[in-house]
């Protein structure tokens, strides 16, 4: 650690989050976030996409390679699969606010100039990014959050979160000081990696059907 760097415990986006101005102000400020070291290697901040007042918020882990290049969440292979699953569950992705627990792409390279390989963020990196998610929640005020996978689950619900235990159920919890309903499910990337992709996809759609019912 360089002498001027903060210890990992002290990482936080909090000083970068503006207190007013809605989503446009948040997005602008997030572009300059230096709350943890992940900004250094990423191309850009990938902030949430969608409208304030969206009834549904989808929370993923962190941007992937494509998202990092394009600056939008869920535009790569996982996003395409998620869009198909949402459509099967009768949810219009255009009606949802889509974001991630961590706003910068974390990756490793096996060799210089080789493909960038996704690396899961630590709990502390997710906690450091928490003030952005809290600010998005305060502005969007979604009726329901779909929690996509373990990192988003731990960021929102704590380190004891286990997606296999609670997936496809409607939870009622206090999140960043607000009463909130949530439906956890697997991350779409886990579906892409599954041995039986079709069964995993069906499982994701079944959980999203629970979310669609909870919204109706």
Q: What are the φ/ψ torsions at residue 58 (nearest 5 degrees)?
A: -105, 125
Q: Is 62 in the site for ligand URA (CB under 6 A)?
A: yes
| Residue 121 contacts ligand URA per CB under 6 A | no
At residue 174, the 3 state secondary structure works out as strand
The tokens describing 213, both together, are 């019912």
Q: Which is nearer to ligand URA, 45 or 62 (CB)?
A: 62
**C-alpha span between 150 and 113 (Å, rounded):** 30
Question: Looking at 67, 125, 136, 207, which residue binds ligand URA (CB under 6 A)?
Answer: 67
Give the orientation angle of helix 123-140 with respect to helix 22-30, to 10 degrees.
160
Burial status of residue 91 (CB atoms within 10 A of its CB: 0-12, 13-18, 19 or more): buried
| Residue with smaller CB distance to ligand URA, 162 or 213 | 162
Stretch that binds ligand URA, among 30-38, 57-65, 159-167, 170-178 (CB under 6 A): 57-65
Instruction: Determine if 61 is a binding residue for ligand URA (CB under 6 A).
Output: yes
Strands 171-175 and 178-185, bridge-based pairing: antiparallel
Report if residue 184 touches ligand URA, rule: CB under 6 A.
Answer: no
Tokens of 137: 């929640």
State yes or no: residue 136 binds ligand URA (CB under 6 A): no
Q: Interface with ligand URA by CB under 6 A: which range of 3-11, 61-69, 123-131, 205-213?
A: 61-69
H or E element at residue 202: helix 197-215
Which residue, 36 or 191, has its beta carbon nearer to ligand URA?
Answer: 191
Q: Which parts of this chain interact with ligand URA (CB under 6 A)? A: 60-64, 67, 73-74, 76, 78-79, 100, 189
């Amino acid at each position: 650690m360089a002498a001027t760097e903060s210890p990992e415990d002290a990482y936080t986006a909090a000083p970068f989050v503006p207190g007013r101005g809605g989503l446009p102000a948040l997005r602008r400020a997030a572009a300059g976030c230096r709350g943890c070291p992940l900004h250094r290697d990423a191309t850009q901040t990938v902030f949430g996409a969608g409208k304030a007042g969206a009834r549904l918020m989808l929370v993923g882990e962190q941007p992937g390679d494509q998202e990092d290049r394009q600056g939008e969440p869920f535009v790569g292979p996982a996003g395409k699969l998620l869009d198909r699953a949402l459509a099967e569950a009768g949810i219009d992705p255009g009606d949802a606010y889509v974001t991630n627990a961590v706003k910068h792409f974390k990756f490793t390279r096996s060799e210089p100039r080789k493909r960038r390989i996704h690396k899961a963020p630590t709990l502390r990196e997710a906690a450091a990014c928490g003030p952005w998610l809290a600010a998005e929640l305060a502005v969007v005020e979604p009726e329901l959050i779909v929690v996509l996978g373990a990192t988003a689950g731990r960021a929102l619900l704590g380190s004891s979160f286990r997606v296999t235990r609670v997936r496809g159920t409607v939870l009622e919890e206090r999140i960043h000081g607000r009463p909130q309903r949530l439906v956890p499910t697997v991350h779409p990337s886990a579906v892409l990696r599954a041995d039986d992709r079709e069964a995993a996809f069906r499982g994701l759609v079944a959980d999203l059907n629970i979310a669609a019912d909870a919204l109706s």
